[in-house]
Structure 1
Amino acid sequence: MSYELTALKCLQEQAKSMITLLADIGGTKTQLALMNHSGVLVRKCKVLNNEYRDIEGVIDEFLAPETETPHYAVLAVAGPVDGGIRCQMTNLPWLIDGEALRDRFNLRSIVLLNDLQATAWGMTSTSVQNQLTLLRRKRLNFDQPVVVISPGTGLGQACIVPHEGGYCIKATEGGHKSIAPFNKLSADLLHQHWQQHNFPPSWENWFSGSGLGQLYQAMFPNEAAPNNQAMSDNALSNPDSHCGQAIQLFTQAIYAECGNLVLQYLAWGGVIVAGGIPPKLESFFSLQGNIDYIHRKNEYVDRLRAVPVALCKNTDIPLVGAAQYCIKHMMT
C-alpha cells in the first residue's frame, strides 16, 4: 500500500474516533454532552452552576468516567463572545477562556458561541424545524431572515440570515436594550421607574427569568414577589390574579420586542420563541391577543401581521445548535 493511501486510511480511522464535547452554559445550569463522529450524542448530563466554582470543575467531573477524551469542543455560553474564544458571562461570574480550556483538556480545537447563536444554529436543522409549534401562519420561511428570542434566565436574541446556500447567524446582546413602552401599562411602569431611578431598565431587567420578580414588584409595589415557579403556577391556575397579570404583561412584552426585531433585521421569514419559560406558559404565549403585539406598531402593520410565529418547546436546542455548528464547520 502506498504512503498516500496509508495516510488517507489513517486519517479516516482517526475521523471515526473523533469525539466532541458540547456544552450549553447558562446563567443557572449547564448541560454537557459528548458527540461521536456520526453526530450522535452518546452521553449527556445537567448540573446547577451554583454548585461549582468554574466551568473547569464542571467539565472535569463530566469527563472523569471517560477513557476517551474529546478532540473538539463547542460551548454555547450566555454572554458576549470575544473572537470566538473568550466570554465573561452576563448572569454568572464565570470567565470562559477557550484557549485555557483547549490547553487544559488537550483539545485540537474549541469554539465558543453565544447561547442564542447556538440556539439559532439549532433552528437550521430540518428535524428541529419540523418539531416547532406554529402559532401564526402555516410555516416559517428560511429563505428570508428569521429572528429567535429566548426568555430564560436572561433574554437572548439572534437572527438567522440565509447566505450562499447556508446561514449566517447574527448573535446579539439585544436583551440589554432599554425598554420601549408598548402599551399604557408599560408606559406607566416606566414613568414610575424614572421617579425612583436615573437609569432606564433593560428588557432583560423585567422580561426574563431573572427579572420577573422585579416586574411583579414594579406592578404591585406593596407586595412581595413570589418565586418564579409559584408565579407561573398561580398565573396558569388563575389568569386574573396578580401573578396572571404579571405573566400577561411579560408575554406581551416578548411579542412587542419580537416585532422590533423583525423590523430591525427585516425578518419577514418569521419569529421563533424559544427558551425555558415560554413552553411552561404556552397558554399565554398562544393567545392571539398577545401575539398581536408583534404588529402593534405605527408603521408596517400589515407586513408585521403577516409574519409567521413559532414556539420551540425543545429546551435542549442550544446543545443541538452546538452540534450543528460542529458538524458544519469543524468535522468536514
Structure 2
Amino acid sequence: MPDYGDKVSLVADVGGTNTRVALAEGRALRDESVRKFRNSDFESLESLLLQFEDDVGLTCDAAAVAIAGPVHDGRGTLTNLDWTVDPEALANVTGARTVSVLNDLQAQAHALLAMPRSHLTPVVTVESKETGSRRLVIGIGTGFNSALAIPNGPALMVTPSECGHVLLPAGNSEDLELAEFIVASEGFASVEDALSGRGLENIHAWHASRCGKSETRSSADVLTAIKNGDDVANRTLETFVRIMGSVCGDLALIHLPFAGIYLVGGVARAVAPYLRDFGFVESLRSKGRLSGYMERFPVCVVEDDFAALSGLAVHLDDLRRR
C-alpha cells in the first residue's frame, strides 16, 4: 500500500469573519505554517491564498477548503460573506491536482477522528459504549449549522446541512415575542438569527427593548457585559442558553447521535462556562415523554480553534487512500 504520510496538502477554513490556513503532511498539520487572516483585508479567497504563499509557500499536491455556507457540485458560496469558492480557481492558485470544497461543519466532523481528548471539555457525561455510533457536530459562531458523522469503515461519512436557516422554534410566549422582534427587522426569524454572534446581538436588543431601551451592542460587548454582571446581558445569556439547549435537543432527536454531540465555534466556546448554570442541560432534555431518553446523549465542547484544518487534512488523506 502506498505511503501517503509525506504528501503535502493546503487546507483552509473560511469563516464569515476569519480564514485559517495551513499546510499538512498526511493527517498532521505543520504547526509553523498555520496562519489566521481577517477576510475584510482581502477581495477574495484567491488573493488571501496568494498572501499565504508569500508568507509560507504554496507547494502542495492537494488542497481542501471548508466554507461557512452551502456547497453544491463542489462549488460553494459563503452565507455571511460575498465570496464564492470554485474548485478550478482553487486548483489554479494552488497548483494542486486534487481539490475538495466542503461545508465547514463537515470539516469539523472529519476532525473527530484525529482529535485528542484534551481538546474536549465535557458538558454532559454519559456512561455509554456507543463509540461506533453517530456523532453530531453543532457549530455556533458567526452562523449556526450542524453536520452528522456516520461511521464508514475506518473513515467517516459526513452529511452536510443548512439547518441554521430553518424557522426559529417558539416553545413559549417569550420565544414567540423574540421571534416577532426578529421578524420585524429581518423579515424572517431563523435559528441562526438567535444562535450566533448576530443572535446574541438580537437577543440583547430585544431584552433592552423590553426595558424601554433602544440599545445595540456587538456580540463581543455583550459577552464582556456578561462577565461584568450586567443585568440585561445576563438575561440575554439565559435566553440564548435556553434556546441553544432546546435546538440541540431537537437535532439530537432527529439524528440520534449516541456517540456524542460536539459543540464547535467561537460563540459556543464563549458561552461554554455558563451552560450548566444557565439551564442548558435541562433545556436539552425537556422533550416531553422522551425527556428521559435524552439522558443518553453526551455533550462536549471542542476547544481547538483550528480543528477544521485537521479535519480537512483527514479528509484529503482519506481521498488519497480510496
Q: Is the TM value for this pair above 0.5?
A: yes
Q: For residue 198 of structure 2, what is the amino acid of its counterpart?
A: S
- Find the partner of 2:312 among 310, 322, 325: 322
Mapped partners of 1:191, 1:16: distance in 2: 53
Q: Which runs of 5+ in 1 are unaligned?
A: 1-7
Give the structure 1 partner of residue 136 of structure 2: 147
1:58 equivalenced with 2:42 (yes/no): no
After superposition, the C-alpha distances for 1:89-113 in whole angstroms (9 at most, x for unaligned) are 1000001111122133321111011
**Cα distance 1:237–1:283, how it changes in 2: closer, same or farther (>3 A)?**
farther
Mapped partners of 2:158, 2:178: distance in 1: 34
- Other structure's SS at 1:69 match: coil
Give the structure 1 partner of residue 121 of structure 2: 133
Contact map agreement 2:22 2:29 (CA 8 A) in 1: no
Aligned length: 317
1:305 equivalenced with 2:295 (yes/no): yes
Q: For residue 326 of structure 1, what is the amino acid of its counterpart?
A: L
- Other structure's SS at 2:262 match: strand
Which range moves more in the overlay, 32-41 or 308-317? 32-41
Mapped partners of 2:76, 2:252: distance in 1: 27
Q: How many Å apart are 1:38 and its aligned residue?
A: 6.6
After superposition, the C-alpha distances for 1:121-158 in whole angstroms (9 at most, x for unaligned) are 11222x43453111112467332222111110001211
**Cα distance 1:226–1:198, how it changes in 2: closer, same or farther (>3 A)?**
closer
**Cα distance 1:37–1:311, how it changes in 2: closer, same or farther (>3 A)?**
closer
- Percent identity of paired positions between Structure 1 and Structure 2: 23
**Cα distance 1:37–1:116, how it changes in 2: closer, same or farther (>3 A)?**
closer
Q: For residue 63 of structure 2, what is the amino acid of its counterpart?
A: A
Give the structure 2 partner of residue 96 of structure 1: 85
Contact map agreement 1:235 1:245 (CA 8 A) in 2: no
Mapped partners of 1:193, 1:88: distance in 2: 25
1:82 equivalenced with 2:72 (yes/no): yes
Mapped partners of 1:98, 1:282: distance in 2: 36
Which range moves more in the overlay, 258-267 or 280-289? 280-289
Mapped partners of 2:189, 2:140: distance in 1: 16
**Cα distance 1:75–1:116, how it changes in 2: closer, same or farther (>3 A)?**
same
- Other structure's SS at 1:210 match: helix
Give the structure 2 partner of residue 161 of structure 1: 150
Give the structure 2 partner of residue 5 of structure 1: none
Q: How many Å apart are 1:34 and its aligned residue?
A: 0.8
**Cα distance 1:164–1:199, how it changes in 2: closer, same or farther (>3 A)?**
same
Mapped partners of 1:282, 1:173: distance in 2: 23
Comparing both chains, which one has the higher relative contact order based on Cα–Cα distances under 8 Å and sequence gaps of 6 or more?
Answer: 2
Contact map agreement 1:119 1:317 (CA 8 A) in 2: yes
TM-score, length-normalised on structure 2?
Answer: 0.90
- Find the partner of 1:216 among 179, 182, 204: 204
- Find the partner of 2:226 among 215, 222, 235: 235
- Other structure's SS at 2:159 match: strand
**Cα distance 1:80–1:139, how it changes in 2: closer, same or farther (>3 A)?**
farther
**Cα distance 1:217–1:36, how it changes in 2: closer, same or farther (>3 A)?**
same
**Cα distance 1:262–1:241, how it changes in 2: closer, same or farther (>3 A)?**
same
**Cα distance 1:88–1:304, how it changes in 2: closer, same or farther (>3 A)?**
same
Contact map agreement 2:135 2:148 (CA 8 A) in 1: yes
Q: CA RMSD in A?
A: 2.4
- Find the partner of 2:240 among 244, 250, 268: 250
Contact map agreement 1:294 1:305 (CA 8 A) in 2: no
Which range moves more in the overlay, 133-142 or 108-117? 133-142
- Other structure's SS at 2:33 match: strand
Mapped partners of 1:34, 1:149: distance in 2: 26
1:261 equivalenced with 2:230 (yes/no): no
Mapped partners of 1:199, 1:281: distance in 2: 27
Mapped partners of 1:17, 1:270: distance in 2: 32
Contact map agreement 2:203 2:239 (CA 8 A) in 1: no
Give the structure 1 partner of residue 272 of structure 2: 282
Note the 1:183-222 alignment, pairs <5 A.
183-193=172-182, 196=184, 199-221=187-209, 222=213
Give the structure 1 partner of residue 60 of structure 2: 70
Q: Which runs of 5+ in 2 are unaligned?
A: none
Give the structure 1 partner of residue 21 of structure 2: 32
Q: How many Å apart are 1:181 and its aligned residue?
A: 1.4
TM-score, length-normalised on structure 1?
Answer: 0.87
Contact map agreement 2:33 2:56 (CA 8 A) in 1: no
- Other structure's SS at 1:250 match: helix
